[in-house]
Structure 1
Amino acid sequence: MRPTQAVFRAIGAGIHHARSVNMPDARNMLALKDHVYFAKATAEGSGRNGIVKSVGDSPLELKMATPKIIGGKGDGCNPEQLFGMGYASCFLGSLQLMAARANKKHIAENAKVHTNVFLGHPEDPNIEGFGLRVDVTIEGCDDDEVINAAHEFCAYSRALRYGAQVTINKM
Protein backbone atom coordinates (compact mmCIF):
# COMPACT_ATOMS: atom_id res chain seq x y z
CA MET A 1 0.00 0.00 0.00
CA ARG A 2 1.15 3.48 -0.83
CA PRO A 3 -0.69 6.57 0.40
CA THR A 4 -1.80 9.18 -2.12
CA GLN A 5 -2.11 12.76 -0.91
CA ALA A 6 -4.08 15.70 -2.23
CA VAL A 7 -2.71 19.19 -1.78
CA PHE A 8 -5.10 22.00 -0.90
CA ARG A 9 -4.57 25.44 -2.35
CA ALA A 10 -6.21 28.67 -1.32
CA ILE A 11 -9.03 29.73 -3.63
CA GLY A 12 -9.10 33.44 -4.35
CA ALA A 13 -12.71 33.66 -5.51
CA GLY A 14 -14.71 36.77 -4.83
CA ILE A 15 -18.32 36.91 -3.67
CA HIS A 16 -20.67 37.22 -6.63
CA HIS A 17 -23.82 39.28 -6.29
CA ALA A 18 -26.38 40.15 -8.93
CA ARG A 19 -25.59 43.84 -8.40
CA SER A 20 -21.81 43.62 -8.07
CA VAL A 21 -18.89 43.07 -10.41
CA ASN A 22 -17.45 39.54 -10.46
CA MET A 23 -13.97 39.39 -9.03
CA PRO A 24 -11.52 37.23 -11.02
CA ASP A 25 -9.91 34.15 -9.54
CA ALA A 26 -6.23 34.27 -8.68
CA ARG A 27 -5.57 31.09 -10.73
CA ASN A 28 -7.00 28.96 -13.50
CA MET A 29 -9.34 26.22 -12.44
CA LEU A 30 -11.36 23.40 -13.86
CA ALA A 31 -14.56 24.81 -15.35
CA LEU A 32 -17.63 22.72 -16.16
CA LYS A 33 -19.17 22.79 -19.64
CA ASP A 34 -22.33 21.12 -18.29
CA HIS A 35 -23.56 19.12 -15.32
CA VAL A 36 -24.99 15.62 -15.12
CA TYR A 37 -26.12 15.79 -11.50
CA PHE A 38 -26.34 18.31 -8.70
CA ALA A 39 -26.84 17.96 -4.98
CA LYS A 40 -28.61 20.55 -2.88
CA ALA A 41 -27.88 20.97 0.81
CA THR A 42 -28.93 23.44 3.48
CA ALA A 43 -27.32 24.19 6.84
CA GLU A 44 -29.32 25.93 9.55
CA GLY A 45 -29.17 26.52 13.26
CA SER A 46 -25.94 27.12 15.13
CA GLY A 47 -23.39 26.65 12.35
CA ARG A 48 -21.18 23.67 13.13
CA ASN A 49 -23.71 22.72 15.80
CA GLY A 50 -26.81 22.96 13.64
CA ILE A 51 -28.64 20.73 11.21
CA VAL A 52 -27.72 19.90 7.61
CA LYS A 53 -30.23 18.61 5.10
CA SER A 54 -29.86 17.30 1.59
CA VAL A 55 -32.88 16.85 -0.65
CA GLY A 56 -33.29 14.92 -3.87
CA ASP A 57 -33.01 11.23 -4.70
CA SER A 58 -32.30 10.14 -1.14
CA PRO A 59 -33.06 12.88 1.41
CA LEU A 60 -30.71 13.04 4.37
CA GLU A 61 -30.75 15.08 7.58
CA LEU A 62 -27.91 15.09 10.10
CA LYS A 63 -27.24 16.77 13.42
CA MET A 64 -23.89 18.53 13.32
CA ALA A 65 -21.57 19.08 16.26
CA THR A 66 -18.17 20.61 16.84
CA PRO A 67 -15.70 17.88 17.91
CA LYS A 68 -14.92 17.70 21.63
CA ILE A 69 -11.21 18.19 20.96
CA ILE A 70 -11.88 21.75 19.76
CA GLY A 71 -14.38 22.66 22.45
CA GLY A 72 -17.63 21.19 21.20
CA LYS A 73 -19.97 18.53 22.54
CA GLY A 74 -19.05 16.02 19.84
CA ASP A 75 -22.59 14.63 19.81
CA GLY A 76 -23.10 14.78 16.05
CA CYS A 77 -21.32 14.71 12.71
CA ASN A 78 -18.87 17.35 11.57
CA PRO A 79 -18.03 18.71 8.10
CA GLU A 80 -14.63 17.03 8.04
CA GLN A 81 -16.23 13.59 8.53
CA LEU A 82 -18.69 14.21 5.72
CA PHE A 83 -15.92 15.48 3.42
CA GLY A 84 -13.77 12.42 4.19
CA MET A 85 -16.66 10.05 3.52
CA GLY A 86 -17.47 11.71 0.21
CA TYR A 87 -13.83 11.72 -0.88
CA ALA A 88 -13.32 8.05 0.06
CA SER A 89 -16.43 7.01 -1.84
CA CYS A 90 -15.60 9.05 -4.94
CA PHE A 91 -11.99 7.81 -5.00
CA LEU A 92 -13.07 4.17 -4.65
CA GLY A 93 -15.46 4.52 -7.57
CA SER A 94 -12.70 6.14 -9.63
CA LEU A 95 -10.24 3.41 -8.64
CA GLN A 96 -12.64 0.67 -9.72
CA LEU A 97 -13.44 2.44 -12.99
CA MET A 98 -9.77 2.99 -13.84
CA ALA A 99 -8.95 -0.65 -13.04
CA ALA A 100 -11.77 -1.78 -15.33
CA ARG A 101 -10.55 0.53 -18.13
CA ALA A 102 -7.07 -1.01 -17.77
CA ASN A 103 -8.60 -4.51 -18.08
CA LYS A 104 -7.64 -5.14 -14.44
CA LYS A 105 -11.10 -4.96 -12.86
CA HIS A 106 -10.21 -7.72 -10.40
CA ILE A 107 -7.45 -5.71 -8.71
CA ALA A 108 -9.87 -3.14 -7.28
CA GLU A 109 -13.02 -5.17 -6.65
CA ASN A 110 -12.26 -5.60 -2.94
CA ALA A 111 -10.26 -2.42 -2.45
CA LYS A 112 -10.96 0.05 0.33
CA VAL A 113 -10.16 3.74 0.42
CA HIS A 114 -9.40 5.36 3.76
CA THR A 115 -9.29 9.12 4.23
CA ASN A 116 -7.96 11.17 7.10
CA VAL A 117 -9.11 14.78 7.06
CA PHE A 118 -7.10 17.07 9.30
CA LEU A 119 -8.42 20.44 10.48
CA GLY A 120 -5.69 22.80 11.59
CA HIS A 121 -4.17 26.24 11.46
CA PRO A 122 -2.44 27.31 8.23
CA GLU A 123 1.34 27.75 8.38
CA ASP A 124 0.95 31.15 6.72
CA PRO A 125 0.38 33.60 9.60
CA ASN A 126 -1.55 35.91 7.24
CA ILE A 127 -4.34 33.37 6.78
CA GLU A 128 -6.87 33.45 9.60
CA GLY A 129 -8.98 30.46 10.64
CA PHE A 130 -8.53 26.82 9.73
CA GLY A 131 -7.34 24.81 6.76
CA LEU A 132 -7.54 21.17 5.76
CA ARG A 133 -5.09 18.44 4.91
CA VAL A 134 -6.22 15.12 3.49
CA ASP A 135 -4.39 11.79 3.49
CA VAL A 136 -5.84 9.12 1.20
CA THR A 137 -4.73 5.50 1.68
CA ILE A 138 -5.62 2.69 -0.69
CA GLU A 139 -6.03 -0.82 0.73
CA GLY A 140 -6.26 -3.91 -1.45
CA CYS A 141 -4.88 -2.43 -4.68
CA ASP A 142 -1.20 -1.67 -5.17
CA ASP A 143 -1.12 -0.87 -8.89
CA ASP A 144 0.45 2.61 -9.03
CA GLU A 145 -0.78 3.32 -12.56
CA VAL A 146 -4.39 2.57 -11.64
CA ILE A 147 -4.12 4.55 -8.39
CA ASN A 148 -2.62 7.56 -10.20
CA ALA A 149 -5.31 7.35 -12.90
CA ALA A 150 -7.99 7.25 -10.19
CA HIS A 151 -6.43 10.30 -8.51
CA GLU A 152 -6.52 12.15 -11.85
CA PHE A 153 -10.16 11.10 -12.48
CA CYS A 154 -11.72 11.53 -9.00
CA ALA A 155 -13.84 14.70 -8.77
CA TYR A 156 -12.66 15.38 -5.19
CA SER A 157 -9.00 15.06 -6.19
CA ARG A 158 -9.60 17.35 -9.15
CA ALA A 159 -11.39 19.94 -7.01
CA LEU A 160 -8.48 19.99 -4.59
CA ARG A 161 -5.82 20.08 -7.29
CA TYR A 162 -7.43 22.51 -9.72
CA GLY A 163 -9.99 24.26 -7.55
CA ALA A 164 -13.72 24.34 -8.02
CA GLN A 165 -15.92 27.14 -9.23
CA VAL A 166 -17.62 28.72 -6.25
CA THR A 167 -20.33 31.32 -6.62
CA ILE A 168 -21.78 32.91 -3.49
CA ASN A 169 -25.19 34.53 -3.87
CA LYS A 170 -27.53 36.37 -1.50
CA MET A 171 -31.28 35.78 -1.20
Structure 2
Amino acid sequence: MPVDVIYKTKATSTGGRDGHARSEDGSVDVNLVVPKEMGGPGGEGANPEKLFAAGYSACFLGAMKAVSGKVGVKVPADASVTAEIGFGPRSEGGYGITADLTIDLPGVDKAEAEKLAKAAHEVCPYSNATRNNVDVGLIIA
Protein backbone atom coordinates (compact mmCIF):
# COMPACT_ATOMS: atom_id res chain seq x y z
CA MET A 1 0.00 0.00 0.00
CA PRO A 2 1.61 3.24 -1.08
CA VAL A 3 1.72 6.10 1.39
CA ASP A 4 1.64 9.73 0.29
CA VAL A 5 4.32 10.88 2.75
CA ILE A 6 3.77 14.38 4.16
CA TYR A 7 6.34 14.24 6.98
CA LYS A 8 9.57 12.39 7.68
CA THR A 9 11.95 12.35 10.60
CA LYS A 10 15.06 10.42 11.56
CA ALA A 11 16.57 8.95 14.69
CA THR A 12 19.88 7.19 15.06
CA SER A 13 20.70 4.52 17.61
CA THR A 14 24.12 3.30 18.64
CA GLY A 15 24.98 0.38 20.87
CA GLY A 16 21.69 -1.47 20.33
CA ARG A 17 19.45 -2.02 23.34
CA ASP A 18 22.25 -0.89 25.66
CA GLY A 19 23.26 2.31 23.92
CA HIS A 20 21.85 5.65 22.92
CA ALA A 21 19.14 7.01 20.60
CA ARG A 22 18.76 10.55 19.30
CA SER A 23 16.39 12.18 16.85
CA GLU A 24 17.87 14.30 14.10
CA ASP A 25 16.71 17.52 15.79
CA GLY A 26 17.74 16.42 19.29
CA SER A 27 14.22 16.63 20.74
CA VAL A 28 14.50 12.92 21.57
CA ASP A 29 17.85 12.11 23.15
CA VAL A 30 17.83 9.05 25.40
CA ASN A 31 20.16 6.51 26.92
CA LEU A 32 19.02 2.95 26.31
CA VAL A 33 19.17 0.30 29.02
CA VAL A 34 18.22 -3.37 28.87
CA PRO A 35 15.65 -4.15 31.61
CA LYS A 36 16.57 -6.70 34.28
CA GLU A 37 13.64 -8.87 33.09
CA MET A 38 15.43 -9.18 29.75
CA GLY A 39 18.81 -10.03 31.29
CA GLY A 40 20.20 -6.52 31.41
CA PRO A 41 21.35 -4.29 34.24
CA GLY A 42 18.14 -2.27 34.38
CA GLY A 43 18.35 1.20 35.84
CA GLU A 44 17.66 4.59 34.37
CA GLY A 45 17.15 4.77 30.65
CA ALA A 46 14.67 4.00 27.95
CA ASN A 47 14.24 0.95 25.74
CA PRO A 48 12.46 0.32 22.44
CA GLU A 49 9.31 -0.85 24.22
CA LYS A 50 9.06 2.37 26.27
CA LEU A 51 9.57 4.46 23.14
CA PHE A 52 6.95 2.44 21.25
CA ALA A 53 4.49 2.84 24.15
CA ALA A 54 4.95 6.61 24.17
CA GLY A 55 4.54 6.85 20.41
CA TYR A 56 1.53 4.55 20.17
CA SER A 57 -0.35 6.20 23.04
CA ALA A 58 0.18 9.71 21.62
CA CYS A 59 -0.70 8.65 18.09
CA PHE A 60 -3.85 6.81 19.18
CA LEU A 61 -5.11 9.83 21.13
CA GLY A 62 -4.46 11.93 18.03
CA ALA A 63 -6.41 9.42 15.94
CA MET A 64 -9.37 9.65 18.33
CA LYS A 65 -9.35 13.43 17.96
CA ALA A 66 -9.17 13.09 14.17
CA VAL A 67 -12.23 10.81 13.95
CA SER A 68 -14.29 12.33 16.76
CA GLY A 69 -16.35 14.53 14.44
CA LYS A 70 -17.09 11.65 12.09
CA VAL A 71 -18.37 9.39 14.86
CA GLY A 72 -20.02 12.17 16.87
CA VAL A 73 -18.09 11.60 20.10
CA LYS A 74 -16.19 14.54 21.57
CA VAL A 75 -12.77 13.81 23.05
CA PRO A 76 -12.57 15.49 26.46
CA ALA A 77 -9.61 17.79 27.18
CA ASP A 78 -8.47 15.46 29.99
CA ALA A 79 -8.58 12.30 27.86
CA SER A 80 -5.60 9.97 28.02
CA VAL A 81 -4.32 6.79 26.43
CA THR A 82 -1.89 4.49 28.20
CA ALA A 83 -0.07 1.94 26.07
CA GLU A 84 1.31 -1.15 27.80
CA ILE A 85 3.78 -2.95 25.57
CA GLY A 86 4.80 -6.54 26.28
CA PHE A 87 7.90 -8.28 24.91
CA GLY A 88 8.67 -11.98 24.74
CA PRO A 89 9.56 -15.01 22.67
CA ARG A 90 7.17 -16.16 19.94
CA SER A 91 6.20 -19.80 19.52
CA GLU A 92 7.27 -19.48 15.86
CA GLY A 93 10.72 -18.30 16.94
CA GLY A 94 12.22 -14.89 17.47
CA TYR A 95 10.54 -12.27 19.60
CA GLY A 96 7.32 -10.34 19.43
CA ILE A 97 5.38 -7.64 21.20
CA THR A 98 1.86 -7.14 22.48
CA ALA A 99 0.04 -3.88 23.03
CA ASP A 100 -2.83 -2.96 25.33
CA LEU A 101 -4.26 0.53 25.01
CA THR A 102 -6.18 1.79 28.03
CA ILE A 103 -8.40 4.64 26.89
CA ASP A 104 -9.65 7.09 29.51
CA LEU A 105 -12.38 9.43 28.29
CA PRO A 106 -13.81 11.08 31.42
CA GLY A 107 -17.53 11.79 31.11
CA VAL A 108 -17.98 9.74 27.93
CA ASP A 109 -20.44 6.84 27.96
CA LYS A 110 -18.70 3.44 27.61
CA ALA A 111 -20.55 2.52 24.40
CA GLU A 112 -19.63 5.88 22.87
CA ALA A 113 -16.01 5.48 24.02
CA GLU A 114 -15.87 2.02 22.42
CA LYS A 115 -17.26 3.43 19.15
CA LEU A 116 -14.62 6.17 19.16
CA ALA A 117 -11.79 3.76 20.01
CA LYS A 118 -12.81 1.34 17.27
CA ALA A 119 -12.90 4.14 14.67
CA ALA A 120 -9.52 5.46 15.85
CA HIS A 121 -8.05 1.95 15.65
CA GLU A 122 -8.95 1.88 11.94
CA VAL A 123 -7.04 5.09 11.10
CA CYS A 124 -4.17 5.25 13.61
CA PRO A 125 -0.85 4.71 11.80
CA TYR A 126 0.49 2.58 14.66
CA SER A 127 -2.64 0.42 14.59
CA ASN A 128 -2.31 0.05 10.83
CA ALA A 129 1.39 -0.82 11.15
CA THR A 130 0.70 -3.53 13.74
CA ARG A 131 -2.57 -4.92 12.35
CA ASN A 132 -2.50 -8.71 11.85
CA ASN A 133 0.97 -8.85 13.39
CA VAL A 134 0.63 -7.60 16.99
CA ASP A 135 -2.06 -8.52 19.49
CA VAL A 136 -3.60 -5.11 20.35
CA GLY A 137 -6.17 -4.81 23.10
CA LEU A 138 -8.47 -1.79 23.42
CA ILE A 139 -9.54 -1.25 27.02
CA ILE A 140 -11.99 1.46 28.04
CA ALA A 141 -11.09 2.76 31.51
| Shared fold (TM-score, shorter chain, > 0.5) | yes
| Equivalent in the alignment of 1:119 | 87
Other structure's SS at 2:131 match: helix
1:87 to 56, 65, 68: 56
Corresponding residue of 2:138: none
Superposition RMSD in Å = 1.8
Q: 1:59 is paired with a residue of what secondary structure? A: coil
Among all aligned residue pairs of Structure 1 and Structure 2, give the percentage whose two residues are the same amino acid.
35
Structure 2: runs of 5+ lacking an equivalent: 134-141
2:38 alignment counterpart: 70
Mapped partners of 1:66, 1:31: distance in 2 = 35
Are residue 151 (structure 1) and residue 116 (structure 2) matched? no
Structure-2-length-normalised TM-score: 0.81
- Please, which of 39, 43, 52 is the counterpart of residue 13 of structure 2? 43
Aligned to 1:10: none
Runs of 4+ in structure 1 deviating by more than 4 angstroms, as ranges, are: none
* Kept after mapping to 1: 8 A contact 2:71/2:119: no
- What is the deviation of 1:162? 6.4
Q: Any unmatched runs of 5+ in structure 1?
A: 1-29, 164-171
CA distance in 2, matches of 1:162, 1:68: 30
Q: Please identify which structure carries the higher strand content.
A: 2
Deviates more, 1:81-90 or 1:141-150: 141-150
Q: Residue type of the partner of 2:87?
A: L
Report the Cα offset of residue 101 of structure 1: 3.2
Structure with greater helix percent: 2
Query: How far 1:39 moved relative to its partner?
Result: 1.4
Structure with bigger RCO (C-alpha 8 Å, 6+ apart): 1
Q: How many residues align?
A: 127
Deviations 1:100-129 (A, max 9, x none): 333432x443221111110011022xx2x3
Shift of residue 72 of structure 1? 1.0
